[in-house]
Structure 1
Amino acid sequence: MSEQDDPIPLASSFDRYLQDKGKGRGGDGGNYRRNAERELHRFAEWAAGDRGDDDWTGTVPDDVDREPAFEDLDERTFREYARHLASDRGLKQNTVQTYYAYISAWCGWCVNEGYLQAHFAQRASATAPLPEDDGRKPGDQQAWTSEQRHALTRHVDEQARDAVEAYTTLPKDTAPTDKQRARYRALKATRERALIYLIAYTAVRVGELLRDSDDPRRRGVRWEDLNLEDGSMDVYRKKQQWDAASLPDPVIHPVRQYQKVLQPPTERWPVFPTFDQRTLAALVQEELTDRGQRPADVKDRRDEFVRDLLLTLEEDIRPQSITTDGARSILHRLTDDAGVEVAHPRHDYLAPHGGRRGMGEVLVRSFGYTVAARYLDNSEEMVRERYSHIEAGELGDVATDALGDMDEI
């Protein structure tokens, strides 16, 4: 950029970069886009002098009144930002590495797009203040133990059994509203049990199972995606394509019983529809109005049901699936209700990824890395890396046996 050109603000590149990195139509979705956008704006605030230490004034010269621009950036800038991230802000070393990686990736893109002359963020002097990476990813180490899995599934089994029994044994003269309340409780309990079993035993990523609000392609599995006879389920994989996932025997009965209580009007219904009352109320009002009903008629129709979810089933008003965040909230509550103890530095509940990782532990120990990789939809190399502690333990046993044999000689 020549000296006579007006300085180009850093923020002017953000939308285009995020669109290139986003997923879905128009590049509007994806977790990477969301996280990168957050870190880019933090970087811009720091460059403006708003997020640093008291003596940090930003990258713009003191005698200039403008936003941070590309001409202000050099390797010293990124060195200072690396030092800022690594300072005592309570961030773990791997988190610092992750946050800096978002900025470094943007810097590389800026070089390709002509905003910068060099990839300053990757130079050795720029990355020197970063802490060493110990190879662990933050939040990705929890694995449900067999005791935790059994405790949680036993709890949801009891919930579902009691709710279904209460609903199916109602006297014939039970008032309609009481029948609706009993059915709703049975729906809630069987939905939660089916969700827990799928997370615990299929090793499917929660983003493949439920709706991801940041990725429009991930709308959550529908009943048409399930084949309970064959024991399979079609999911949109992390590798950006549809693929079949296995439904092992423990999952089939909970899903069948839930389906029997739900009685979805069509197979295009989500397996796990949202139960959020405000969301469903807005959906019902909009849909019935679009069907030509007057506001008074809509109100009368809603008054016939104790919950709008039951009305959506009656009128085949298809709601959205619950989100991945919704699943985490459910798991948080159920972990507490079941009294499951969780000792983990990042998660105080049984997180969804822990169910997948726990199943991976079982598969690797029982069938080896090749079979586990196929079930987990990962490369064998990645599975060996993620579960390297198992092989290390087995080699330790071999060494112990060898030493024992030597002692006997």
Structure 2
Amino acid sequence: MSQDNSGGSGGEIALEDAKDEFLREQKGNYSSNLKYNLKKWLDEWIDGRHEETLADVTPLTMRHYANYLERRSRGDTGIAESSARTYYNYVSAFLSWAVKVEYLPENPAEKERAKDPLPNGDTSSSEQQFWQPEQRAALTDYVDERAREAIAADGTDAFEEVRDRALIYVLAYTGVRGSEVLADARHDDRNGLRWDDVYLENGMIEVFGKSQDPNEEVGLTGQTIEPLRRLRTLIDPPAESWPVFPSRHPPSLYDRIDESEYDRPEGNPWEFCLENSIEPPSMSTSGARTLLKRLSKEAEVPGLDFEDGEYLTLHGARRGVGETLYKEHGAQRAQRTLRHADPKTTSEMYSHIEASELGEDNTAVFENE
């Protein structure tokens, strides 16, 4: 793609130059999300196509982009439908700015024919997944028993079972986002929770939050302390910078061994990393989703259609924590625990609870008619 402004006015400005000018005018946390997503749009989607200037971006261009996002939102391993619409809206915001500064006469992304392929995105709170108490209990009971059996059989070699138990407990009881404790390939700064960010005595962890604060505090419930303590004892990390939930993916471990300029071992790469204090990578959000699919089925979690591919999701854990707190202690407790900056976000997420409670209250009003 050309990086140079052709010298013309208006829509003839190069996309890369327009993007840079647009980002210079943005402020706050929103700007970092814009920068990341516009870079992906230009470098991964636009690259190789024929659009080089703002004027080249037509409603058909954006329709093709909407189709691309819709395809990515299909299936268990794709992005969420809401994410597809969010990514589209970031590009639309850029093009709206181009209209505002009179580089474009209108925003091609806002044409109905351009937006039409996008996934609906109108899912109500009652249709989203929330880990229910009985589902949370089934999964945590299963990983408890699985870890105990592995420790009895393998002792200190029961790493994966102990790690998985600690991860499930953190997800099930804290309301943390998966990308705050696991590696996210889309963000270099999200490389997994580290032991130097875990304060078991104080009952808290520090995470890289959605607000872009690298030291956002998350409370640990009593249920999570012992699984984390047992994991730390078992791993005995050589450095506090080690990930709390390491990956034992062999190719990734061999990459770390190569980077450390060791010869590749013939034996177990995980044991080699431990023996030589080579820091392993953190488990990724993708890896955690694969784990949750397997554990959901093995634990026979109630309320899931395994034939249809259902499983307990990462974000379903967060919603489930908020739902329980919302029911038991109200909106403010849920908002503080989930760290929603806007109370409206919490209210919208749990609107189904308010509707149900209103229905029950109103039933009593009409019973005596």
TM-score under structure 1 normalisation? 0.71
Partners in 2 of 1:39 and 1:101 — Cα distance?
Answer: 17
Q: What displacement does 1:106 show?
A: 3.0
C-alpha spacing 1:159/1:29, structure 2 compared with 1 (3 Å): farther
Structure 1 residue aligned with 2:204 = 232
RMSD over aligned CA atoms reads 4.2
Spell out, residue by residue over 1:223-272, the C-alpha distance to the aligned partner (whole angstroms, 9 max, x if none): 11111111111111101112210110111111111111111112111101
C-alpha spacing 1:14/1:349, structure 2 compared with 1 (3 Å): farther
Spell out, residue by residue over 1:346-400, the C-alpha distance to the aligned partner (whole angstroms, 9 max, x if none): 9721110000001111000000000110001013221011101101111111101
Within-5 A mapping of 1:314-329 = 314-329=275-290
**Alignment pair present for 1:246 and 2:208:** no
Structure 2 residue aligned with 1:152 = 139
Q: What displacement does 1:282 show?
A: 2.6
Spell out, residue by residue over 1:1-52, the C-alpha distance to the aligned partner (whole angstroms, 9 max, x if none): 999779848765687489879x99xx7998745764589539x95xx6xxxx
Q: Secondary structure at the match of 1:334?
A: helix
Structure 1 residue aligned with 2:59 = 78
Task: Assess if the C-alpha contact under 8 Å between 1:143 and 1:354 holds in 2.
Answer: yes
Q: Supply the AA of the counterpart residue of 2:95.
A: C
Given the alignment, which residue of 124, 137, 153 partners 1:166? Answer: 153
Structure 1 residue aligned with 2:255 = 282
Spell out, residue by residue over 1:107-131, the C-alpha distance to the aligned partner (whole angstroms, 9 max, x if none): 12434676x3334247677789689
TM-score under structure 2 normalisation? 0.78
Q: Supply the AA of the counterpart residue of 1:354.
A: G
C-alpha spacing 1:30/1:234, structure 2 compared with 1 (3 Å): farther
Within-5 A mapping of 1:4-403 = 8=12, 12=16, 16=20, 32-33=37-38, 36-37=41-42, 41=46, 69-71=53-55, 77-78=58-59, 97-98=85-86, 100-111=88-99, 116-121=103-108, 135-136=122-123, 141-168=128-155, 183-184=156-157, 186-241=158-213, 242-289=215-262, 298=263, 302-303=265-266, 306-340=267-301, 342-343=304-305, 348-378=310-340, 379-403=342-366
Partners in 2 of 1:388 and 1:346 — Cα distance?
Answer: 27
Partners in 2 of 1:28 and 1:376 — Cα distance?
Answer: 20
Q: Supply the AA of the counterpart residue of 2:294.
A: R
Task: Assess if the C-alpha contact under 8 Å between 1:39 and 1:99 holds in 2.
Answer: no
Q: Which of these two proteins has the greater Rg computed from alpha carbons?
A: 1
Spell out, residue by residue over 1:69-98, the C-alpha distance to the aligned partner (whole angstroms, 9 max, x if none): 54456xxx4389559959xx8889978855
Q: Secondary structure at the match of 1:275?
A: coil
Q: Supply the AA of the counterpart residue of 2:46.
A: H
Q: What displacement does 1:136 show?
A: 3.2
Unaligned residue ranges in structure 1 (runs of 5+): 49-66, 169-182, 290-297
Q: Supply the AA of the counterpart residue of 1:246.
A: G
Partners in 2 of 1:29 and 1:107 — Cα distance?
Answer: 12
Task: Assess if the C-alpha contact under 8 Å between 1:227 and 1:233 holds in 2.
Answer: yes
Spell out, residue by residue over 1:274-300, the C-alpha distance to the aligned partner (whole angstroms, 9 max, x if none): 2111111232243144xxxxxxxx45x
C-alpha spacing 1:9/1:349, structure 2 compared with 1 (3 Å): farther
Q: Secondary structure at the match of 2:260?
A: helix
C-alpha spacing 1:329/1:9, structure 2 compared with 1 (3 Å): farther
Spell out, residue by residue over 1:204-235, the C-alpha distance to the aligned partner (whole angstroms, 9 max, x if none): 00111111222122121111111111111111
Q: What displacement does 1:325 show?
A: 1.3
Q: Supply the AA of the counterpart residue of 1:197.
A: Y
Identity level (%): 31
Q: What displacement does 1:401 show?
A: 1.2
Q: Supply the AA of the counterpart residue of 2:212.
A: Q
C-alpha spacing 1:368/1:161, structure 2 compared with 1 (3 Å): same
Q: Which moved more, 1:366-375 or 1:379-388?
A: 379-388
Spell out, residue by residue over 1:305-356, the C-alpha distance to the aligned partner (whole angstroms, 9 max, x if none): x421122122211122121112111112212222235259997211100000
Partners in 1 of 2:89 and 2:33 — Cα distance?
Answer: 21
Partners in 2 of 1:31 and 1:157 — Cα distance?
Answer: 39
Partners in 2 of 1:286 and 1:278 — Cα distance?
Answer: 12
Q: Supply the AA of the counterpart residue of 1:224.
A: D
